[in-house]
Amino acid sequence: MRIDTLYVTQFRHLKSQKISFNTGINGIIGHNAAGKTAVLEAINLLILGSSFRTHQLRDMIQHGQTEWLIEGEMTSGGVHKSLSLRYDMKRRYVTIDGQLQESTSPLLGNLLGVTATLEDQELVFGPPSIRRQFLDEQIAQIDPYFVQMLSRYTKALTYRNHLLRQNSFRTIAAWEEQLAMAGAYIVTQRRRTVDQLAPRVVSHFNHLFDDGVPFTMSYTSSAPLETDLSTWYQQEYAKRRLQEARAASTLLGPHRDDLTWTLADKPVRSVASLGQARAVALALRWSEWEWLADRSSEKPLFLVDDAESTLDSLRKERLFDLCKQPEQVFFTSHEPHSSLHSTITLSNGTVLNC
């Protein structure tokens, strides 16, 4: 799987242009504010339909303009496909092979990929919602039904919370049934994913940061392991109505779960250095890539933004060793590296060579 060309117009401070990519490791080189991260962000939008930098589509419009456009030409299994997103201050338009889609959901699964950024340190230091989002985005790329269950869960949670605030229980059981069914599926898939990811993450962390300190990863949830989760959630929601009505919020469910790591039996977020936190995030992202590759007939893309800022030379070399496995990698850096197969140099939002 690879992306052959990327066309951007009025996106961030990238000048309107077509960028061609090769297989192997594509180095995107330039000084600060050259537009390197914006290139990765544009590719990530084609992969997931969302940005790793902002939830506001307006933030991505070039200053003084009223819309942005991203188009990508990709190849998967010898089949060529075109993907595009456009935003015009009013709405977002998604097209696949020229066909307009109703939402960004149909993008998922077309261009598989994993993006590792400096913001990934928030996976270690940030709130649980960021870690839950990481898991959900990963599963969504290969399980369309999971996306439906997330949507159903969010809707049912909204309505149940509204009824709790109103202290009105007449129709609440119907929403609890929906909440329980969707929640059970979400927790089951998250647990299964973490069980498969954890050994890989531990191994890759030890490879990147081999200081001998015991490292673990687990999924934490109030839901029991051996039971019919849907029935258990329904029973718990019924028992908790009065208590949660006083809190005006649903206090149980996958929206309260977390992904946790420990170093020497202590929470990583309380003891890790910035370098260790980046190593955890990179180990997680690389394990995510392997997990997706195992479930696809094609090798996903791998995108890495600015690894130089927190990794020493030894860890960078080990990261480049890992990056030899995907068919196509995008690696932003201030300077070229001997491991790069091709180099794209940017200056002030313009590609100087391609």
Reported as a single tens digit per residue, the pLDDT across 250-307 is 999 999 999 999 998 999 989 888 888 888 888 999 998 998 899 888 899 999 998 6
Evaluate whether 28 touches 332 at the Cβ level (below 8 Å): yes
Written as one string, the DSSP assignment of 200-238 is: HHHHHHHHHS-S---EEEEEE-SS-SSS-HHHHHHHHHH
Residue 244 forms part of a structural domain: no
What phi and psi values does residue 312 have, to the nearest 5 degrees?
-80, 180
Residue 99 forms part of a structural domain: yes
- How many structural domains comprise the chain? 1
Q: What is the DSSP letter of 241?
A: H
The pLDDT of residue 322: 80
Residue 46 forms part of a structural domain: yes
How far is Cα 52 from Cα 39, in angstroms, rounded to an integer? 12
Residue 292 forms part of a structural domain: no
Residue 30 forms part of a structural domain: yes
The pLDDT of residue 211 is above 80 = no
Residue 139 forms part of a structural domain: no
Residue 145 forms part of a structural domain: no
Residue 34 forms part of a structural domain: yes
User: What is the Cα Rg of the chain in Å?
Assistant: 22
The pLDDT of residue 311 is above 80 = no
The pLDDT of residue 308: 67
Q: Which residues span the domain enclosing 307?
A: 1-112+299-354
Reported as a single tens digit per residue, the pLDDT across 26-68 is 999 998 889 999 999 999 999 999 998 998 999 999 998 999 9
List the CATH number of the domain containing 313: 3.40.50.300
Find how far residue 179's CA is from the centre of its chain. 24
Single pTM value for the model = 0.81
